[in-house]
Amino acid sequence: MRTLETTHFQDAEKYAAYLKTPLGRLRTELAWENLRRFLGEKAQGRRVLDLGGGTGSISLRLAQMGFEVVLLDSSEEMLGLARREAEACGVGERISFVHGDASRIEDFFAAESFDVVVCHNLLEYVADPGAIAGKIAQLLRRDGAVSILVRNRAGEVLKAAIKSEDLAVAKTARTAETVVDSLYGKPLRVFEPEAVVNLLGRAGLDAFLQRGVRVFADYREPKNLEGEAGYQKMLELELMLGARREFAGIARYTQLIARPRSGLARKEDAR
């Protein structure tokens, strides 16, 4: 089955360049820091699936921590970039690269194959997000966990209201199922956090941690995003705000970490 994912990310170089911009870098590093804090230091013998991991920005970090990583993506071009970067960083042996479609992951892996699944910026593009969540649940071991990152509807509404000269765009975004991706100019799905929690719940996954990713950076002047010192201050503030419910609700992205219902889930409300 051909998904939205397979039709969007054909220009891997363009995507890789975006990830080096301050906003692209922030998206990766904020989501990574939230995940890293949850994972802790116990990497030895643990296996991770980076589902739709693209150019491998998260896979590389996981491998550097000592995890055994499988990176699956539908773009051979993306995988090629990820493989070259892994080799350059000296972690190529810790990452397996699989070319495949997320809708068929059961064809590649047996049930309960992974301790962690990373699914960042994938559900926006697949034909059936609920089906993907169900497949992820099957792949997780009993005490495993999944990190989900999706585009947040409220963040799209706020961005349109602040940056668009046509306020009708913000009104439309409030109820639209999709918005136009500024990088590729194609539609992508947007989510409300509670809807993602429910989607995961129907798959047998209990979300116990919620974070907002990119609360305010999108509204800064470009000149204020330049320079490493300024970037680090922004990263620190974003991490603090994204951990608070009132700010997480308006972030551009929502990150949820969930565990199988039968696992050793630690019940925490999103904060």
- The reported pLDDT for the residue numbered 4 is 46
Tens-digit pLDDT profile for residues 74-96: 999 999 999 999 999 999 999 99
For the chain, the C-alpha Rg in angstroms (whole number) is 18
192 near 226, Cβ under 8 Å? no
Q: What is the mean pLDDT of residues 122-141?
A: 96
pLDDT over threshold 70, residue 263: no
Q: Which residue has the higher pLDDT, 12 or 192?
A: 192
Q: pLDDT-based confidence at 266, cuts 50/70/90?
A: very low
Looking only at the bridges linking them, the beta strands covering 140-151 and 253-260 are antiparallel
Q: Looking at residue 10, what is its pLDDT?
A: 58
Whether 208 and 257 have beta carbons less than 8 Å apart is answered as yes
What is the mean pLDDT of the segment spanning 203-210?
97
Residue-level pLDDT at 47: 97
Q: What is the pLDDT of residues 215-237, one digit of tens each?
A: 999 998 877 777 899 899 999 99
Residue 128 has pLDDT above 50, yes or no: yes
| In the chain, % of residues over pLDDT 70 | 93
What does the pLDDT read at residue 226?
79
Q: What local confidence, expressed as pLDDT, does residue 9 receive?
A: 52
Q: Are 165 and 152 in contact, with CB atoms under 8 Å apart?
A: no
CA–CA gap between residue 271 and residue 248 (Å, rounded) = 8
Residue 270: pLDDT band (50, 70, 90) is very low
Residues 6+ apart with CB under 8 A from 232: none
Question: Which residue's entry shows tokens 């013998």?
Answer: 45
Question: CB of 217 within 8 A of CB of 241?
Answer: no
The predicted model gives 109-138 an average pLDDT of 97
DSSP class of 126: S
Tell me the average pLDDT of the chain. Answer: 90
Report yes or no: 26 and 238 within 8 Å, Cβ to Cβ: yes
Report the distance separating Cα 117 and Cα 98, nearest Å: 14
pLDDT of 262 higher than 50: yes
Name residue 258's beta-bridge partners. Answer: 146, 207
Which is the CATH superfamily of the domain at 4-259? Vaccinia Virus protein VP39 (3.40.50.150)
CA dihedral 131→132→137→138, nearest 10 degrees, is 80
- pLDDT tens for 196-206 read 999 999 999 99
- Tens of pLDDT, residue by residue over 21-34, are 999 999 999 999 99
Record the tokens describing residue 41, joined without a space: 């230091």
Report the candidate in 236, 237, 254 with the shortest Cα–Cα distance to residue 245.
Answer: 254
